[in-house]
Structure 1
Amino acid sequence: MNTYLDFMENLVSAHAFYIVPVLNSIVSGFRYRSNIPQITNITRTMSYERHHEALRCVLKLIPTASNSLFVSLVRHMPHKRFNSAEQAAYIKNILQVTDYVPVLRKQVLGMVVDQMVQIDAQIQIELDEVDADIEFDVYNLQFDENYDSEDSEPELEDDIDLSDDASVDSDENADIGADTKDDIKEIKYMVRKLDAMMTLCFEFLARHAQDSEATVQNEIFYALVDIFDRAVLKTLKSRYTQFLLFFFCSLNVNVYSEYFLDHLLHHISDSMKPNVTRVAASAYIQSYVARAKFLDSTTIQRVVAALTSWCESYAWQYESQVQNLDCTKHDVFYAVIQAVMYIFCFRWRDLVVTNELEIEEEMEEDISSISYEERQLTHPESGFGSGAPRNWCVGLRNLPRLVMSKFNPLKLCSPGVVQQFAKLARNTHFMYVYPILEKNREIFVPGLGNANLLQTVQSFFPFDPYKLGSSRIFVDNIYFEWIADDEDEEESDSEEEESSDEDVSAGMMSMSISPNPNVHFLQ
């Protein structure tokens, strides 16, 4: 090995022409070797380390070879259909390359995320077409062990046979056709593949968060944000890849999380950006604030205030133009209003003001400024809810006026979110909107439910529960789960409301991230 390294060093030093083929030869060694000669004691891990040593030697002699190196890394990237071992081994090695070639860190991260987004989106497309419960497998990431759970060639998974550890129970799927079984088999392989890739990326981020200097951590964070904007934000079929940024924000809440929230708010408020970007940003901010366990009450109140303030400005500017409800217009407004309602459903406890000074300021508000209709919403004559009234943050003060506006968001926003908001708003003494919901039953909106941008507002929740078996350990402790049973819940006023409440609670726990299957224009 040492003799061979000397030979390569001499070769690239004497003849620059050979830098590219030498780099290609080294990088190819980062791929998974399905067969290791039985006569050798060298493991795959030892082989990978030798290739890294060779690459270090070459780059030490020819520092400018880093550009050619990235081209080689891209060239040898396994196709998304290659098996779990191929994907995991290569990603582990190229992430390790960034430790001693930091100039390529952002590019390599982008390449890895692009690969995962493709697999992630394909999983969701397949899941949309399969109506069956699937238990996912875990790849053990032990690279020195032989990987034979997919009995195909290590390159493609088109004709793989189902192995014992990834088999589908014949009794549970007796009524599922052969084609569906093949689809389930393929989904299980893809999920295992993505889970392994996510685990490696989480480990990479966690290691740098712990061992690297602040400048390196900042570089990684801003790289993740740029990659998010480019590859993730408008990919509405991605369910798990975005959790890389979710996790990294939790490592420095005061800096990274605040920046990410402001970044999304800027997307929403920037009228020069396409509506698809602004709607997607609204979906991300609602899901992020609802699910990020590490956010404090002050931050949540600040975000809600920013969202309602934008909505109020929009309403003052455009409400006079609204004659009839149109599901093809005002997409961003409905997306932002839904974001406020969704955040309220998850984090209403954080929207209650507990500071005495803030409470006094709220009480000093001139009651004459509140219209009769708005007062009927917030203080109906017959009363509503249970327990003592709460003092809500300033950001929610404008919500009754927005709910009663001509835009009628309770009609056009997600029915599941609207129903849960109505329930919790009543039970927490915030608002009573059931009369509006009753009137909305009589309103017909042409095109509602068809494939349009508004449909994506209703069904895109990018930080839905994380279910990848191996990598979820990085998310579980920072993730806010839906609380189905609330101490302030009371009996519904009718059997109809009671049934609706049960359905909505179940829906909030399993919100679907997948947009309408007919919606493809944001892909």
Structure 2
Amino acid sequence: MGRELTSDKVELHEMENDDFSDLELIYHVRDALISVPLGNRDNYDELVGHLHPMQRPTADQVALLVTTLKALSGAVSYIDIVHHEALIYAFIQVSRLSMWNYGTDVMDALLELIISLAASNGKYVDMCLDMLVRNFVPPSYFMKMLKQPCGITRKCEVLSRVHAALKDISDLVPLAPMRLSPIVVQRMPNVFSKEHEIVIFVENMLRLESGAIGEIVGVTMLPALVDRMIELDVEIGWDGNLQDEAKDIFDMELEDVAEPVDDHDNDDMLSKGSLRRKCLQGNLVAEKLDSLMVLTFEHLESCQSSGRLAQVFDVLLTSFQKTVLNAYKSKFTQFVMFYACALDPGECAVKFAMELADMFICKVNPPITRMSAVAYLASYLSRAKFLSAAVVTSILQRLVNWCYEYTMLHDVDMNPLAHQVFYSGCQAIMYMLCFRMRSLMDVPRLKLQLLNMPLEPILKHRLSPLTVCLPTVVEEFLRQAKAARHFTTSESFVFNDVLESDLSRAFGGMDRLDMFFPFDPCLLKKSDGYIHKYFIYWSMVRTTYDSDDVSDEGSGSESENEEAMMMGSYAEKDLDIESVLNRMSITPKNSLKFGNERMPSRIRPSTSPESL
């Protein structure tokens, strides 16, 4: 060493001014730390004083802080959690001032000390990780600057360093990533936080998921994000008038208004058609959820580009089964799964459908789970433009086979409460056929497979599913079956709307699963911008009773029809969801007629307060 450091009167700032070497500074700090248990605190107290944060430090004070932090990094092995409590507390206070307030020299020195301290002793790992995670979100007064060039630059400077430090600690302490995950989840802003706070925090969570330690923390980050989105989802309220209208569960929304009586009536229909979208305008909770879903969609796109989508999808699927599937009143979060499937129609999309079908068929699952699974399945297969007709037919065959076997084992009279799972399966079949019957019949081999399904014995069974299931679905199904001229059930069954109150509601029970269609059109504006090109709206559906009637043998070659069916047999075009919703109207239940009216594009449930 260049000179002896024996005097207790030597102070750190003096050493810096006298141009002492880094090694000499480290030895001075080491001696100050060692002296504390011996009763000599002069240099130690002076050292602690240099770490206390200042509101407007001078250039010399900043330089002294950097010097102190670097010297502590070199002597970190001498820091004792018992004897140097004041030093640790001061260090924590410096870090809590936020790195967003410091220049790059202070940031680098502070991060060097955090990394060194974490690597020196396992007792400090959690504390150091927490210091870093706290910097995921800038101070509130800094938020407005994030949209400016200087703010964007500072964001990059801070967060790139924070994530690099997390990686360094993970390399030095192999168990650190596992200890990081609960800290991140605990620090995640709650549903009442401001939108910009939760958004920037989630950006960092997704950066962790896709980063160098993503294989370890990814299984925690995505489920935690889904959990937070569900919490936001169920917090979304509705306009009071809408709640009053939603009490009639079976209100319908028609996308096509057939010859309105006058302009006043038409205006009224249009205003009702956009009511739900409008009631979300200015809803802060909905806006937070919308922003988080967009972040997740973009993350999924990056996972697809990097070849990680299948891996991430498995994590999302597990989270869906645990959190979303049985969530009460989930309105929009499920579209994360929908979008992931849309990005990978060959693998993820089919896997999701198969998992839902398995959950429904598995007797081990509780009835509530099976009913929810088949509701998701029916809505998904009906709305996903990216699913081929062959996949839809395959799943439909499984549902029909299960329902048929059920009727063979239960030759009893109708009992909505005792056979809820069966009725939910029957309703799912009819709902899917309302959307897909015509498209399946356009492919000769799929039409033959459909005709060979034992559907009619199920619907005519003593359990009487046509009487118990949701009347709006039953009516549309029968109308298409009659037009298709191959289900004699459609002509022999007399629809009795009076039975709806006692039977359909008994089938749904307290949870109202009889009317739960979770993939009804997404009403979140930004999220729908990602969803709509993969989505089937009712206005796009070709029904069996449309003017271009179905021929007996199908039209066109099988290969041509199959190719068309890969995208749901609907024309590829961008739809403006606003215009679609503005063409919808709400029609009271007692006005249902076959006439020229169309099937409900949305049966209110999935967005109504009374729904699941």
Shift of 1:398: 1.4
* 1:192-215: CA deviation from partner (whole Å, max 9, x where unpaired): 100100011111111011113xxx
Matched, 1:410 2:466: yes
Quick one: which amino acid aligns to residue 482 of structure 1?
W
Matched, 1:232 2:324: yes
Matched-pair contact (CA < 8 Å) for 2:114–2:128: yes
Larger radius of gyration: 2
**2-structure distance, mates of 1:22, 1:395:** 66
Matched-pair contact (CA < 8 Å) for 2:508–2:514: no
Change (3 A) 1:451 1:476: same
Matched, 1:273 2:368: no
Query: Moved runs in structure 1, 4+ residues, more than 4 A?
Result: 183-187, 432-437, 441-448, 484-488, 496-499, 515-519
**2-structure distance, mates of 1:271, 1:132:** 36
One of 93, 107, 115 as aligned partner of 2:228: 115
The residue that corresponds to 1:18 in the other structure is 124
Matched-pair contact (CA < 8 Å) for 1:297–1:351: yes
The residue that corresponds to 1:459 in the other structure is 515
Matched, 1:309 2:401: yes
The residue that corresponds to 1:27 in the other structure is 133
Quick one: which amino acid aligns to residue 75 of structure 1?
Q
So what's the TM-score if we normalise by structure 2? 0.63
Is the partner of 1:508 in helix, strand or coil? Answer: coil
Q: Which residues in structure 2 correspond to 1:374-453 (within 5 Å)?
A: 391-394=447-450, 397-431=453-487, 433=489, 437-438=493-494, 440=496, 446=502, 448-449=504-505, 452-453=508-509
The residue that corresponds to 1:483 in the other structure is 539
**2-structure distance, mates of 1:122, 1:497:** 32
Change (3 A) 1:246 1:439: closer
Matched-pair contact (CA < 8 Å) for 1:292–1:478: yes
One of 307, 311, 314 as aligned partner of 1:222: 314
Is the partner of 1:29 in helix, strand or coil? Answer: helix
Is the partner of 2:136 in helix, strand or coil? Answer: coil
**2-structure distance, mates of 1:203, 1:249:** 14
**1-structure distance, mates of 2:242, 2:346:** 42
Higher relative helix content: 2
**2-structure distance, mates of 1:132, 1:448:** 21
Matched, 1:328 2:417: yes
Shift of 1:489: 3.3
Change (3 A) 1:227 1:444: closer
**2-structure distance, mates of 1:490, 1:208:** 41
Is the partner of 2:395 in helix, strand or coil? Answer: helix
Shift of 1:86: 1.4
The residue that corresponds to 1:292 in the other structure is 384
Matched, 1:71 2:177: no
RMSD of the TM alignment (CA)?
3.2
The residue that corresponds to 1:343 in the other structure is 432
* 1:378-401: CA deviation from partner (whole Å, max 9, x where unpaired): xxxxxxxxxxxxx45336631121
Matched-pair contact (CA < 8 Å) for 1:451–1:518: no
Matched, 1:80 2:198: no
In the alignment of these two chains, the number of paired residues is: 425
Matched, 1:57 2:57: no
Change (3 A) 1:11 1:190: same
The residue that corresponds to 1:104 in the other structure is 217
Runs of 5+ in structure 1 lacking a partner?
134-171, 173-182, 360-390
* 1:167-193: CA deviation from partner (whole Å, max 9, x where unpaired): xxxxx9xxxxxxxxxx96897101110
Is the partner of 2:346 in helix, strand or coil? Answer: helix
The residue that corresponds to 1:511 in the other structure is 603
* 1:54-111: CA deviation from partner (whole Å, max 9, x where unpaired): 2223223223111221121022011111121111111111110122212110111010
Shift of 1:275: 0.6
**2-structure distance, mates of 1:237, 1:442:** 27
Quick one: which amino acid aligns to residue 256 of structure 1?
C
Matched, 1:500 2:596: no
Is the partner of 1:393 in helix, strand or coil? Answer: helix
**2-structure distance, mates of 1:407, 1:100:** 56
Matched-pair contact (CA < 8 Å) for 2:291–2:526: yes
One of 196, 199, 207 as aligned partner of 2:294: 199
Shift of 1:515: 8.1
**2-structure distance, mates of 1:454, 1:401:** 29
**Sequence identity of aligned pairs in percent?**
25
Change (3 A) 1:233 1:442: closer
The residue that corresponds to 2:303 in the other structure is 208
The residue that corresponds to 1:137 in the other structure is none
The residue that corresponds to 1:387 in the other structure is none
**2-structure distance, mates of 1:444, 1:343:** 20
* 1:322-374: CA deviation from partner (whole Å, max 9, x where unpaired): 2xx3221211111111111111111113321634xx49xxxxxxxxxxxxxxx
One of 472, 475, 485 as aligned partner of 2:528: 472
**2-structure distance, mates of 1:186, 1:354:** 43
Is the partner of 1:315 in helix, strand or coil? Answer: helix
Q: Mean Cα displacement is larger for which, 342-351 or 277-286?
A: 342-351
The residue that corresponds to 1:8 in the other structure is 114
Q: Which residues in structure 2 correspond to 1:121-200 (within 5 Å)?
A: 121-123=234-236, 126-127=237-238, 129=240, 131=242, 188-200=283-295
* 1:112-162: CA deviation from partner (whole Å, max 9, x where unpaired): 000001111221xx22755289xxxxxxxxxxxxxxxxxxxxxxxxxxxxx
**2-structure distance, mates of 1:11, 1:92:** 27
One of 91, 97, 105 as aligned partner of 2:202: 91
**1-structure distance, mates of 2:199, 2:286:** 13
Change (3 A) 1:499 1:403: same
Shift of 1:53: 2.5
**2-structure distance, mates of 1:476, 1:8:** 46
Shift of 1:490: 6.7
**2-structure distance, mates of 1:473, 1:95:** 21
Q: Mean Cα displacement is larger for which, 346-355 or 415-424?
A: 346-355
The residue that corresponds to 2:338 in the other structure is 246
**2-structure distance, mates of 1:448, 1:400:** 20
Q: Mean Cα displacement is larger for which, 264-273 or 13-22?
A: 13-22
Shift of 1:294: 0.8
Matched-pair contact (CA < 8 Å) for 1:9–1:57: yes
Matched-pair contact (CA < 8 Å) for 1:233–1:281: yes
* 1:421-457: CA deviation from partner (whole Å, max 9, x where unpaired): 1222222324355655536457688565359438623
